[in-house]
A and B are shown apart, each in its own frame.
Chain A
Amino acid sequence: MPVDRSDTDPGLLDREHAEVALAAAGDRRAFERLYRTHVDRVYSICVRMVNDRGRAEELTQDVFVRAWEKLSQFRGESAFGTWLHRLAVNFVLNERKAERRRQDRLTDVEDLDDVSEGKAQRDWSPAIAVDLEAAIQLLPPGAKQVFILHDVEGFTHEEIGQMLGVTSGGTKAQLHRARLLLRKALQR
Chain B
Amino acid sequence: MTSNSGSSFNCDAFDALLPDLVEDNVVEGARRAAEAHAAGCARCRSLLADLTEIRADAARLPVLKPSRDLWDGISARIETPAIDFQQHGARQQRVRWQMAAAAVALVTVTASATWMIARQASESRTVPETALASNSAPADTSPFRLVAAYDDEISALRKRLADRPGGIDSATNALITQNFRVIDEAIARVRIALDSAPSNALLEHQLRRAYDAKLNTLRQIAALQTD
Binding site for B on A (CB under 8 A): 14-15, 17-19, 21-22, 25-32, 35-36, 39-41, 43-44, 47-48, 53, 56-57, 60-61, 64-65, 68, 132-133, 136, 147, 151-152, 154, 172, 175-176, 179-180, 182-183, 186, 188
Q: B128 an interface residue at 8 Å Cβ cutoff?
A: no
Do A22 and B153 have beta carbons less than 8 Å apart? yes
When distances are taken between beta carbons in the complex, the residues of chain A under 8 Å from B22 are: 176, 179
* SS class, residues of chain B in contact with chain A: helix
Residue-by-residue, is B46-67 near A (CB-CB < 8 Å gives 1, otherwise 0)? 1100110111011101011111
Q: B78 an interface residue at 8 Å Cβ cutoff?
A: yes
Q: B43 an interface residue at 8 Å Cβ cutoff?
A: no
Known pairs A32-B71, A176-B18; A21 contacts B64 (CB<8 A): no
A32 and B165 CA atoms in complex are apart in Å by 26
When distances are taken between beta carbons in the complex, the residues of chain B under 8 Å from A26 are: 80, 215-216, 219
Q: B94 an interface residue at 8 Å Cβ cutoff?
A: no
Q: B137 an interface residue at 8 Å Cβ cutoff?
A: no
19 A-B pairs with CB atoms under 8 Å apart are A18-B150, A19-B149, A26-B215, A26-B216, A27-B215, A29-B156, A39-B66, A40-B66, A44-B63, A44-B64, A60-B70, A61-B77, A64-B70, A65-B74, A132-B57, A151-B55, A180-B51, A182-B54, A183-B51
Closest Cβ of chain A: how far from B64's Cβ, in Å?
Answer: 4
Residue-by-residue, is B122-136 near A (CB-CB < 8 Å gives 1, otherwise 0)? 000000000000000
Closest Cβ of chain B: how far from A21's Cβ, in Å?
Answer: 6
Q: B212 an interface residue at 8 Å Cβ cutoff?
A: yes
Known pairs A183-B54, A186-B54; A17 contacts B212 (CB<8 A): no
Given B61, B78, B80, B153, which contacts A152 in the complex, CB threshold below 8 Å? Answer: B61
Given B19, B54, B55, B64, which contacts A47 in the complex, CB threshold below 8 Å? Answer: B64
Do A18 and B54 have beta carbons less than 8 Å apart? no
Nearest chain A residue, comparing its CB with the CB of B64:
A44
Do B19 and A175 have beta carbons less than 8 Å apart? yes
Known contacts A18-B149, A26-B219, A41-B63, then 15 further A-B pairs from the complex at CB < 8 Å, ordered by chain A residue: A15-B149, A18-B150, A22-B153, A25-B216, A35-B71, A53-B66, A57-B67, A68-B74, A132-B57, A136-B58, A152-B58, A154-B59, A179-B22, A188-B46, A188-B53
Do B19 and A172 have beta carbons less than 8 Å apart? yes
A186 and B71 CA atoms in complex are apart in Å by 37
A64 and B77 CA atoms in complex are apart in Å by 10
How many chain B residues sit at the interface, stated as a range, is: 35 or more
Q: B174 an interface residue at 8 Å Cβ cutoff?
A: no
Closest Cβ of chain A: how far from B163's Cβ, in Å?
Answer: 16
**Chain B 138-154 interface residues, beta-carbon cutoff 8 Å to A:** 145-146, 149-150, 153
Do A40 and B67 have beta carbons less than 8 Å apart? no
Do A179 and B153 have beta carbons less than 8 Å apart? no
Known pairs A17-B146, A22-B150, A29-B153; A133 contacts B61 (CB<8 A): yes
Given A17, A53, A61, A132, which contacts B73 in the complex, CB threshold below 8 Å? Answer: A61
Given B59, B64, B68, B145, which contacts A40 in the complex, CB threshold below 8 Å? Answer: B64
Nearest chain A residue, comparing its CB with the CB of B143:
A14
